Amino acid sequence: MEHDFFQQVHQVVRLIPYGRVSSYGAIARYIGSVGASRMVGWALHKSGNNAEYTPAHRVLNRNGLLTGKAAFPGENTMQQLLESEGLTIVNNQVKDFEKYFWDPMELGDL
DNA sequence: TGCATGACCTGAG
DNA sequence: GCTCAGGCCATGC
């Protein structure tokens, strides 16, 4: 398989619990490619490639900023999705990001 | 085969 | 504490 990176990113994102958010760097690090944090976002952008639904809206940058909101249809679709999960978005940023932050490492290991 | 891009992160000024 | 610049990895043309 080979391009596991793509698959792994989707897999990890799908594991993000409801009402929780993660970061590209955390996912990239969990996969093993720390420097590929940028690619994580890219993989999510191509989430349409994956048959399963991928909650990309739960993935934000290190600052908890909705950097990928532009990739969603509409103007603040991503924000609405997060708010639907009980999160509070302020100025395109998740309130108490640290509190809702979820690290894939909590799963233990691959 | 090679260059340019991308939903980022970290270090230095 | 904030802003600027560099790096890293994979994909696309």
Instruction: Show pLDDT as tens, one digit a residue, over chain A (110 residues).
Output: 445 788 889 889 999 999 999 999 999 988 878 888 888 999 998 877 677 889 999 999 999 999 999 889 888 899 999 999 999 999 899 999 999 999 988 776 54
- Is A50 (CB) below 7 Å from strand B? no
Note the CA–C1' distance, A83 to C10, in angstroms.
Answer: 32
Enumerate the domain spans of chain A.
Answer: 4-96
For A4-96, CATH number out of 3.30.1330.10, 3.30.590.20, 1.10.10.10, 3.40.710.10 equals: 1.10.10.10
Residue from A92, A42, A38, A44 nearest A65 by CA: A92
CA distance A110 to A27: 12
- Tell the residue number behind the tokens 């990001």, with chain if given: A97
How many angstroms separate the CA of A1 from the C1' of B13? 44
Please state the pTM of the whole predicted model.
0.89
Q: How many Å does it take to go from CA A6 to C1' C6?
A: 25
